[in-house]
C-alpha cells in the first residue's frame, strides 16, 4: 500500500490544472500549445516560424503525418510548472493535453475531455464558431467542463469582437465575460485592455512583435490615462466596447463559470505570442483543481463484492486510462497507456489492480511525456497524466486502483460511418500484419470487425472518418514494416445486435454480421434505407445504435 500523506496529496492536487485545448482544424491549436510551453520557459523558441519552408513541427506533433500535413491527429500530453507573475508559494503544475483537430478523430478528443478538468476553446478570429467547435462544446457542456474562450489570430484581418461575442451567445448559449479585450481591430493587434471582475478597464498591456513570433513578446503596461494618450481613438473604442458588455452583465462570476454558464474571454495571437501568458494566468487563477469522481453505476450494480462508489482526491490511489498509443519513439517498441490520476499518490513501481480484469501488475516503467520526449516519473498526484509503459492489458476507459476496488465510467465509443477491408500486400507479412492489427485495435485507432466468411486475413476496419484508415495504414508500414491495401466495402451503417437476432438478420439482403474485438456482434447495412426497411419488417430484431455512451 502507498504511504501517501493525505495533506500532501491535497496540497499537490490543489496546485494542479489539467485542461485540453479544443478547436476546429487550423484554428491554431498546436501553435497555441507551443506558445504556452514557451511562456512556461520549457522551450526557448516556438516551433512555428514564418515561411512554409522554415516552419518547424510543433513539439506536440510527433507523427510523420502530423508534420507533413500541419494538423494534429493524435492527442499529446505536456506537463510543466508555471508561476504567474507575483504568485507566492509553489508554482502551479500544468497538465496540458493537446487534442486532434481533425473531425475524423473526434472520438480521441472525446476521450481526452473525459480526463481533464477544464477546456480552452480556441476560435479563429476570421471564421468564428465552426462545426467541430460546436460539437466539442456540447461535449464539454454535457460533462460540466468549465470553458475559457480564446479568440486567436487577432493579428490577421477578421470579424469584429462584438460580432464574435454575439455569435457565441446565440449559437451555444454561453456568455463570454471579457478579461482581456483587444486594443486595435483584427489585423491591427496592439495589445490588450485588462478588465476586472466589475467590468472596469484597469490597464493597457502593449505588445511588441519579435522576429517571426518565435520568442516571448515584450510587454509594456500603461494606465488607462496613459493608454488614451498613446492610442487615442483606438483605445477609446476598445474601452467603449468593454463597457458596453459590462453594462449588459457580461462580467466574470466564478460560480457561473464553473457551472458552464459563462466563459472568461481572452483575445490572442498564438503565432506572435500575444496574450499567451494571460491565458496561462487565467487558467491558474480560475480553472478548477482536480476533484474526486463517482464510480460507474453499471459496474456497481454488477459487482459481486464490495466496491467504492466514490473516490476523493485524498483517498487511495486510482487512475483512469484515456488513451493507448504505440510507436511514439522509434527507439522503443513499446506501448504507452496514458492514465489520468484521479485519487491518491502514484508511486512508480507500486502494485496496482486492473479493475476490469481483477489482475494485479507493477508500474515499474512510468513516464511523463512531452511530445516525443519522455522522462521517468517517480510520483504523480491527482490531475497528472502518466504514461504506463507496456501495459498491454489496458484499454481506453479502464480503471486501475490500490486498496478497495473502484471502477469509473467507460470512455465513449462512436458509431462508425466508414468501412474498409484491410489486407497485407504480401502474404509473407501475415505475422507482422496480425501483430500490428492487434496493437492498433487495442489503441482504438479504428474498430476491427471479423467474421468466418472473410477470415482473419481480411478484417474490416470501421472508423468515424476516412483519415483514420490512412493513419492505420501509415503506422502499420512505419512501425511494423507491413504494406497494406484498404478496399472499399458496400456498407455505410452499423448497428449492435444479439446472438438471438444474428442468424435471421444475416439472411437479409444488404446485411453482414461481424464480431468486434470486444465480443460485440455488429451488423453492417448497405445504407440507412435498407436498415429502415428491415426494422419495419422485423420489429423483433435487436438493432441498437453504436453511439457514445
Q: Residue 261's closest CA among 106, 149, 180?
A: 149
Query: If pLDDT is split at 50, 70 and 90, which confidence band does 526 have?
Result: very high
Contact 278, 266 (CB under 8 A): yes
What Å distances lie between residue 162 and 159, 174, 264, 330, 535, CA to CA? 9, 14, 15, 48, 49
Residue 193 β-bridge partners: 181, 204
Contact 450, 92 (CB under 8 A): no
Q: Identify the pLDDT of residue 57.
A: 43
Q: Residue 325's closest CA among 465, 227, 443?
A: 443
Q: Identify the pLDDT of residue 341.
A: 97
Q: Identify the pLDDT of residue 94.
A: 93
> For 132-176, what is each residue's pLDDT tens digit?
777 778 778 878 899 999 999 999 999 999 999 999 999 989 999
**CA–CA dist 472, 484 (Å, integer):** 9
**CA–CA dist 341, 348 (Å, integer):** 13
In order of start, what are the domains of the chain with their CATH numbers? 16-286 (3.40.50.300), 293-401 (2.40.30.10), 418-545 (3.30.70.3280)
Provide the annotated binding site.
Answer: 98-102
**CA–CA dist 540, 524 (Å, integer):** 18
Residue ranges of alpha helices (H) inside 410-516 are 430-443, 467-480, 502-505
Cell numbers at 472, concatenated: 492505420
Instruction: Give the range among 137-141, 189-193, 369-373, 402-406 with minimum mean pLDDT.
Output: 369-373
Check whether 471 has a pLDDT greater than 90: no
| pLDDT mean over 347-355 | 94
Check whether 36 has a pLDDT greater than 80: yes
> For 280-338, what is each residue's pLDDT tens digit?
999 999 999 999 999 999 999 988 888 999 999 999 999 999 887 765 455 555 678 88
Provide the annotated binding site for GTP.
Answer: 98-102
Residue found under cell 490544472: 17
Check whether 102 has a pLDDT greater than 80: no
Check whether 116 has a pLDDT greater than 80: yes
Instruction: Give the range among 251-265, 274-288, 321-335, 344-358 with minimum mean pLDDT.
Output: 321-335
Query: What's the residue count for the chain?
Result: 549
Query: If pLDDT is split at 50, 70 and 90, which confidence band does 51 have?
Result: very low
Q: Greater confidence, 427 or 344?
A: 344
> For 425-464, what is each residue's pLDDT tens digit?
988 888 999 988 887 887 777 889 999 999 888 999 988 7
**Pairing assessment for the beta strands 92-98 and 76-82 based on DSSP bridges:** antiparallel
Instruction: Give the range among 56-65, 229-238, 304-313 with minimum mean pLDDT.
Output: 56-65
Q: Identify the pLDDT of residue 277.
A: 92
Q: Identify the pLDDT of residue 78.
A: 82
Instruction: Give the range among 74-78, 100-104, 532-536 with minimum mean pLDDT.
Output: 100-104
| pLDDT mean over 267-283 | 94
Q: Identify the pLDDT of residue 233.
A: 96
Greatest alpha-carbon pair distance for the chain in Å reads 81
> For 363-399, what is each residue's pLDDT tens digit?
988 887 665 667 888 999 999 999 898 777 888 889 9
| pLDDT mean over 171-183 | 95
Contact 264, 148 (CB under 8 A): yes
Check whether 56 has a pLDDT greater than 50: no
DSSP string over 163-191: HHHHHHHHHH--EEEEEEEEES-TT---E
pTM given for the model: 0.80
| pLDDT mean over 230-245 | 96
Check whether 69 has a pLDDT greater than 60: no
Residue percentage of the chain with pLDDT more than 70: 87
Q: Greater confidence, 75 or 526?
A: 526
Q: ∠ at Cα 251 (249, 256), nearest 5°? A: 95
Amino acid at each position: 500500500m502507498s504511504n501517501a500523506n493525505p495533506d500532501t496529496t491535497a496540497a499537490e492536487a490543489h496546485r494542479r490544472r489539467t485542461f485540453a485545448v479544443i478547436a476546429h482544424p487550423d484554428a491554431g491549436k498546436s501553435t497555441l500549445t507551443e506558445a504556452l510551453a514557451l511562456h512556461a520557459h520549457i522551450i526557448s523558441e516556438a516551433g512555428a516560424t514564418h515561411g512554409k519552408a522554415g516552419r518547424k513541427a510543433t513539439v506536440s506533433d510527433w507523427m510523420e503525418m502530423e508534420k507533413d500535413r500541419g494538423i494534429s491527429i493524435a492527442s499529446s500530453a505536456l506537463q510543466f510548472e508555471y508561476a504567474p507573475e507575483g504568485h507566492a508559494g509553489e508554482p502551479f503544475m500544468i497538465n496540458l493535453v493537446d487534442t486532434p483537430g481533425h473531425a475524423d478523430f473526434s472520438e480521441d478528443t472525446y476521450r481526452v475531455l473525459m480526463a481533464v478538468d477544464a477546456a480552452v476553446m480556441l476560435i479563429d478570429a476570421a471564421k468564428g464558431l465552426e462545426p467541430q467547435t460546436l460539437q466539442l462544446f456540447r461535449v464539454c457542456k454535457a460533462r460540466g467542463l468549465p470553458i475559457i474562450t480564446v479568440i486567436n489570430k487577432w493579428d490577421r484581418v477578421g470579424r469584429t469582437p462584438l460580432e464574435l461575442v454575439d455569435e457565441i451567445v446565440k449559437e451555444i448559449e454561453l456568455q463570454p465575460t471579457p478579461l482581456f479585450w483587444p486594443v486595435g481591430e483584427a489585423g491591427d493587434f496592439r495589445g490588450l485592455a485588462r478588465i476586472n471582475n466589475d467590468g472596469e478597464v484597469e490597464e493597457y498591456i502593449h505588445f511588441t512583435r519579435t522576429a517571426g513570433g518565435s520568442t516571448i513578446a515584450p510587454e509594456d503596461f500603461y494606465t488607462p490615462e496613459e493608454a488614451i494618450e498613446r492610442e487615442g481613438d483606438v483605445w477609446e473604442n476598445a474601452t467603449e466596447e468593454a463597457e458596453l458588455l459590462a453594462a449588459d452583465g457580461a462580467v466574470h462570476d466564478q460560480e457561473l463559470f464553473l457551472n458552464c454558464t459563462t466563459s472568461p474571454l481572452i483575445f490572442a495571437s498564438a503565432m506572435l505570442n500575444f496574450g499567451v501568458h494571460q491565458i496561462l494566468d487565467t487558467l491558474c487563477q480560475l480553472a478548477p483543481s482536480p476533484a474526486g469522481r463517482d464510480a460507474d453505476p453499471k459496474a456497481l450494480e454488477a459487482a459481486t463484492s464490495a466496491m467504492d462508489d466514490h473516490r476523493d482526491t485524498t483517498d487511495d490511489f486510482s487512475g483512469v486510462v484515456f488513451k493507448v498509443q504505440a510507436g511514439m519513439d522509434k527507439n522503443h517498441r513499446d506501448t504507452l497507456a496514458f492514465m489520468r490520476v484521479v485519487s491518491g499518490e502514484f508511486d512508480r513501481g507500486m502494485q496496482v489492480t486492473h479493475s476490469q480484469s481483477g489482475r494485479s501488475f507493477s508500474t515499474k516503467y512510468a513516464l511523463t511525456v512531452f511530445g516525443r520526449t519522455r522522462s521517468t516519473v517517480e510520483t504523480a498526484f491527482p490531475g497528472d497524466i502518466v504514461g504506463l509503459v507496456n501495459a498491454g492489458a489496458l484499454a481506453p476507459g479502464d480503471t486501475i486502483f490500490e486498496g478497495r476496488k473502484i471502477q469509473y465510467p467507460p470512455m465513449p465509443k462512436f458509431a462508425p460511418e466508414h468501412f474498409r477491408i484491410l489486407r497485407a500486400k504480401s502474404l509473407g507479412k501475415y505475422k507482422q500484419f496480425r501483430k500490428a492489427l492487434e496493437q492498433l485495435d487495442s489503441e482504438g485507432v479504428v474498430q476491427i470487425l471479423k467474421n468466418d466468411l472473410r477470415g482473419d486475413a481480411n478484417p474490416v476496419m470501421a472508423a468515424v472518418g476516412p483519415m483514420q484508415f490512412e493513419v492505420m495504414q501509415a503506422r502499420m508500414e512505419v512501425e511494423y514494416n507491413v504494406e497494406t491495401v484498404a478496399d472499399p466495402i458496400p456498407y455505410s451503417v452499423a448497428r449492435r445486435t444479439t446472438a438471438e437476432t444474428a442468424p435471421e438478420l444475416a439472411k437479409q439482403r444488404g446485411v453482414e454480421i461481424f464480431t468486434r474485438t470486444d465480443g460485440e456482434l455488429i451488423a453492417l447495412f448497405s445504407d440507412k434505407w435498407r436498415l429502415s426497411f428491415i426494422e419495419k419488417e422485423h420489429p423483433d430484431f435487436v438493432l441498437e445504435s453504436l453511439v457514445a455512451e
